């Protein structure tokens, strides 16, 4: 089997979330499952719940991380965020990387769902590759407004190498 690499942008984002071994986590739009590969070895009592609306996304994440699924640390479901049901109601952190819905359209219902399931002090991280700098104001503005409207306190993370921006919502 071909060994899949973890892109530096994903490693940076996982590092930026300061994950603890007991964190209850949600990933929205897991795609190839690279973030799960980096996060799951860090978890002890913590768990990661990954969703993707595409069948190929959940298949890839599951196949790549079968060992963590078998160990009970990772659950992967094919579901659209709009119809989210999480086994854990009290999430410490939720995150998405390169998932455009948070800045391209009205996502008030989806963001409210996540806000409802986070603990007080919990965080939602929206990461985007920042290769096209001219697009950034639109991305940052759209995502920040969506988080603020749901009641999050909004802050920002920035990396030039790898080029990544993170819009962070903290639930008061
Ligand atoms: C560009 S890919 C990014 C994959 C991965 N996060 C990464 O950075 O490599 C976006 C993923 O988000 C998923 N996605 C987009 N909107 C979604 C939604 N509303 N609910 C669940 N998954 C969604 C897509 O199916 C796709 O797999």
pLDDT tens sequence across 112-129: 999 999 999 999 999 999
Q: How far apart are CA 65 and CA 40, in angstroms?
A: 9
Mutate to test the pocket of ligand 1, among 29, 80, 146, 165 (most ligand atoms within 8 A of CB): 29
Contacts of 15 (CB under 8 A, 6+ apart): none
CB of 20 shorter than 6 A to ligand 1? no
Which domain CATH number covers 16? Answer: 3.40.50.150
Q: How far apart are CA 154 and CA 167, in angstroms?
A: 7
Domain that holds residue 147: 8-170
Rg (CA), the chain: 15
pLDDT mean across residues, the chain: 94
CB of 46 shorter than 6 A to ligand 1? no
CB of 23 shorter than 6 A to ligand 1? no
pLDDT classification of 134: cutoffs 50, 70, 90 = confident
pLDDT of res. 135: 86
Q: Which of 133, 92, 94, 141 is nearest to 114 (CA)?
A: 94
Residue matched to tokens 């979330």: 17
Residue whose CA lies nearest to ligand 1 atom number 11: 29
141 C-beta neighbours (distance < 10 Å), count:
12
Q: Is residue 109 in some structural domain?
A: yes
Residue 45: DSSP 8-state: S
CB of 29 shorter than 6 A to ligand 1? yes
Let me know: does 57 contact 29? Beta carbons within 8 Å.
yes
Q: Is residue 3 in some structural domain?
A: no
Q: Is residue 73 in some structural domain?
A: yes
pLDDT tens sequence across 83-105: 987 766 699 999 999 999 999 99
Ligand 1 mean position, distance from CA 28 (Å):
7
Domain count, the chain: 1
pLDDT of res. 80: 96
Q: How far apart are CA 47 and CA 65, in angstroms?
A: 13
């Amino acid at each position: 089997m071909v060994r899949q690499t973890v892109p530096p942008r994903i490693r940076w984002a996982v590092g930026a979330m300061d994950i603890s071994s007991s964190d209850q986590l949600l990933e929205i739009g897991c795609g190839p499952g690279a973030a799960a590969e980096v996060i799951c070895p860090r978890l002890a009592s913590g768990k990661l719940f990954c969703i993707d609306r595409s069948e190929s996304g959940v298949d890839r994440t599951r196949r790549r991380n079968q060992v963590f699924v078998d160990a009970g640390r990772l659950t992967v479901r094919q579901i659209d965020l709009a119809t989210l049901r999480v086994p854990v109601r009290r999430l410490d952190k939720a995150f998405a990387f390169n998932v455009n819905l948070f800045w391209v359209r009205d996502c008030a219902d989806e963001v409210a769902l996540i806000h409802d399931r986070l603990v007080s002090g919990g965080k939602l991280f929206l990461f985007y590759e920042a290769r096209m700098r001219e697009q950034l104001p639109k991305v940052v503005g759209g995502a920040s407004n969506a988080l603020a409207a749901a009641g999050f306190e909004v802050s920002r993370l920035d990396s030039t190498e790898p080029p990544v921006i993170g819009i962070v919502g903290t639930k008061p």
